A = this chain, B = another copy of it.
């Protein structure tokens, strides 16, 4: 298994292709060419073929790709073929919005619990249990959670990260506006809303 060779950017695009393929499946399209799929995903056809090439050979020359076969292949490589449990830490504005977001389950992720400093003070209608953050480490290890979403204020994020890393978490989606220091074997994807806006700000003339 030489999965680790796929470049990070290509992995992002594979997710994109998967999203487009799902739409095609809904419309009962069975076959798609690299040109058509690339256009839907907003990339160049050659890049799409190169990206898919990382997974192996799935196309039929002169015809295109079978939508279902390709979907399954990408899903398998991304590790989303089976449901992945995820925990949210910090049930503030953003955290509670994420808890209500329905898009995760469709893509193979289940929010199994949330944590907050004051779980009783949280007003939100949900079936997802909200625990005290003091129980976070214990919960993560006993449920073998590998992925967490951090949406606590910046000054609390590093502490939370330390706790979950010690408890065995391997991947963190961090919405806090701060850089997390973690061991090399832990992956962090950072989404900083202010940074995104600032970035846009630069590119408007």
CA distance A101 to B93 in the complex (A): 7
Indicate which residue in B104, B106, B202 contacts A79 across the interface (CB closer than 8 Å): B202
Separation in Å of the A22 CB from the closest CB of chain B?
A: 10
Known: A93-B97, A101-B193, A203-B171. A80 touches B198 (CB 8 A): yes
Report B-chain residues with C-beta under 8 Å of the C-beta of A121.
Answer: none
CA distance A80 to B114 in the complex (A): 35
Indicate which residue in B15, B194, B199 contacts A104 across the interface (CB closer than 8 Å): B194
Interchain residue pairs with CB less than 8 A apart (15): A3-B202, A8-B203, A12-B199, A15-B195, A16-B192, A19-B192, A41-B179, A78-B201, A79-B201, A93-B98, A146-B204, A147-B201, A171-B203, A189-B200, A191-B191
Separation in Å of the A158 CB from the closest CB of chain B?
A: 12
Interface size class of A (residues with CB under 8 A): 35 or more
CA distance A3 to B204 in the complex (A): 11
CA distance A18 to B194 in the complex (A): 11
Q: Is the CB of A202 within 8 A of B16?
A: no
Report B-chain residues with C-beta under 8 Å of the C-beta of A147.
Answer: 197, 200-201, 204
Separation in Å of the A156 CB from the closest CB of chain B?
A: 14
